[in-house]
């Protein structure tokens, strides 16, 4: 035993070499040769991870030995320059580091001085985080957490890395990983596009179920004041008061695609095969962002920042797709005016069609095929720029059917919707110019960024937790995670180990 320990001191890799030799013996021995492949596979995977951990441990031990040797030969002035006036050297300080291949022990030297906290030069050279989890574990925690629940993330990490992190720690690591997203995009220059390429913006909102203490004040007070009709369920029109609205924004480039109304909506009786509908504009270089922590003004300003980064001279055509929410419209128009940019606002056609479908049920049974033809006629009218005429026709039809009160509620809502957004339903101009007229990109983003992860059954979120997952999912969806992680690692290192302007002594540790 003494000979082995002496050998380990002489060569930090001796234990890894011994383990590897034993692993070869185990895999080539008689017992292994009669095992089914799945048992051998499991043995090789588990033992291979332990071998990798031993190799990493040996590497760290070697660096610790060399660091101690190098610091020992330094004179007092060199140590003081290296550690802010600290001159006393003390070796044998340890800390644990949880990595993707298991937990290792990092041994390093401390430079000390009375009344001052210790300085560990090797921590800066190694780029060690403040807590025990390595950057590899942090990255894995992010990638697993944005896909599914924290429980499943912890199970996946444990299967791959062993027991290196707990559920609450994963939540904390994810929140820490998101702190540099805003700065990353502020420093990033998008790929330029030609002046003929459309620049499309779209904004939407989506509710997230929150913990009681993390609701906006107005929502919390409204929930407290609400009188419930039933004790065990909500009545029609009542809301739970458990959601906080997140604002989402999408920016993308698109080449104009000129179309006609019948490229959008099939004529009554269906579409013939003689003519293929022209495709609409295709989203390119899509960029998503969102926030549940900040108000819509913040997200809209961030969207305009991204748009201006793509078109700083305002030479391109800016198209803004909206769903008719008045508050969002006011904020968008105010932001455009503040920046001195001309925008073309288009009401999402899908929302118009949904209003028309609701109105059609005032005249047709839910399963009546004639309702589809009715929708086709009214939608085609709207697409030709005659929204007011379509509204007048629908009201006149309701009068002919002598609909009153609740019978014509959907009719009045559809017509009022068209009237309120009369400035934004000039689809004839939009189609002739080749603009998009539907907000499928932002609707898909709402499902992908929020519903698929933050709307898991039973989930209740804090603001920091929901915000971190939302913006990290946006980064990944934008295809920027690899670049962002490099940026985040650099910024984290700068925060932990800022340059002091003193002599930068390079250790090989």
Q: Which tens digit of pLDDT belongs to each residue from 16-29?
A: 999 999 999 999 99
Predicted pLDDT at 4 = 43
Nearest to 448 by CA among 147, 170, 150, 175: 147
Whether pTM exceeds 0.75: yes
pLDDT tens, 93-150? 999 999 999 999 999 999 999 989 999 999 999 999 999 999 999 999 999 999 999 9
Nearest to 138 by CA among 104, 164, 105: 164
pLDDT level of residue 273 (50, 70, 90 thresholds): low
DSSP string for 147-211? TS-HHHHHHHHHHHH-S---HHHHHHHHHHHTTTHHHHHHTPPPPP--TTSEEEEEEEEEEEEB-
Question: Residue holding tokens 């430079």?
Answer: 111
Q: Does position 238 have pLDDT exceeding 60, yes or no?
A: no
* The predicted structure's pLDDT at residue 89: 93
Q: Which pLDDT does position 82 carry in this prediction? A: 86
Average of per-residue pLDDT values in the chain: 90
Please say if the pLDDT value at position 5 is more than 50: no
Three-state DSSP at 235 gives: coil
Cβ–Cβ < 8 Å for 469, 146: yes
Phi-psi group of 202: left, alpha or beta (phi > 0 → left; psi -120 to 50 → alpha; rest → beta) = beta
Greatest alpha-carbon pair distance for the chain in Å reads 104
pLDDT at 146: 95
Residue 341: CB atoms within 10 A of its CB come to 16
Sign of the Cα pseudo-torsion (435, 440, 443, 444, in order): negative
Sign of the torsion formed by the C-alpha atoms of 345, 350, 351 and 356: positive
Average pLDDT over residues 267-288: 84
Q: What's the confidence (pLDDT) of residue 270?
A: 72
């Amino acid at each position: 035993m003494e000979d082995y320990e002496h050998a380990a001191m002489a060569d930090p890799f001796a234990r890894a070499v011994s383990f590897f030799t034993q692993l070869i013996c185990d895999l080539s021995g008689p017992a292994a040769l009669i095992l089914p492949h799945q048992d051998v596979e499991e043995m090789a995977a588990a033992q291979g991870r332990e071998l990798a951990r031993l190799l990493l441990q040996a590497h760290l031990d070697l660096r610790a030995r060399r660091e101690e040797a190098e610091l020992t030969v330094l004179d007092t002035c060199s140590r003081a320059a290296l550690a802010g006036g600290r001159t006393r050297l003390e070796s044998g300080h340890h800390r644990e580091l949880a990595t993707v291949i298991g937990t290792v022990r990092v041994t390093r030297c401390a430079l000390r001085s009375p009344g001052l906290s210790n300085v560990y030069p090797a921590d800066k050279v190694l780029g060690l985080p403040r807590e025990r989890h390595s950057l590899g574990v942090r990255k894995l925690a992010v990638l697993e957490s944005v896909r599914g629940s924290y429980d499943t993330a912890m199970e996946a990490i444990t299967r791959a890395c062993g027991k290196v992190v707990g559920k609450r720690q994963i939540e904390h690591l994810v929140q820490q990983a998101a702190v540099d997203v805003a700065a990353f995009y502020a420093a990033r220059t998008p790929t330029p596009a030609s002046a003929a390429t459309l620049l499309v913006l779209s904004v939407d909102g989506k509710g997230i179920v929150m913990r009681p203490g993390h609701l906006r004040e107005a929502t919390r007070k409204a929930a407290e004041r609400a009188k419930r009709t039933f004790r065990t369920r909500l009545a029609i029109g009542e809301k739970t008061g458990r959601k906080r609205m997140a604002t989402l924004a999408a920016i993308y480039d698109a080449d104009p695609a000129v179309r006609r109304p019948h490229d959008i909506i099939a004529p009554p009786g269906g579409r013939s095969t003689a003519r293929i509908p022209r495709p609409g504009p295709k989203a390119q270089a899509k960029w998503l962002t969102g926030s549940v922590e900040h108000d819509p003004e913040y997200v809209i300003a961030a969207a305009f920042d991204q748009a201006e980064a793509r078109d700083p001279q305002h030479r391109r055509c800016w198209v803004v797709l909206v769903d008719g929410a008045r508050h969002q419209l006011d904020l968008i128009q105010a932001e455009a005016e503040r920046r001195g940019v001309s925008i073309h606002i288009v009401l999402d056609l899908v929302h118009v069609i949904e209003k028309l479908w609701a109105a059609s049920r005032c005249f047709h049974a839910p399963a009546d095929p004639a309702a589809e033809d009715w929708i086709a006629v009214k939608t085609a009218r709207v697409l030709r720029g005659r929204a007011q005429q379509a509204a007048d026709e629908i009201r006149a039809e309701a009068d002919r059917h002598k609909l009153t009160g609740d019978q014509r509620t959907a009719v009045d809502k559809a017509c009022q919707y068209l009237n309120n957004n009369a400035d934004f339903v000039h689809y004839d101009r939009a189609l002739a110019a080749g603009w998009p007229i539907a907000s499928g990109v932002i609707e898909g983003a709402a499902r992908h960024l929020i519903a698929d992860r933050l709307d898991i059954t039973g989930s209740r979120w804090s603001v920091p937790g929901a915000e971190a997952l939302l913006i990290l999912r946006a980064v990944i969806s934008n295809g920027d995670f690899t670049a962002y992680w490099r940026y985040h690692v650099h910024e984290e290192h700068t925060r932990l180990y800022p340059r002091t302007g003193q002599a930068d002594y390079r250790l090989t540790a």
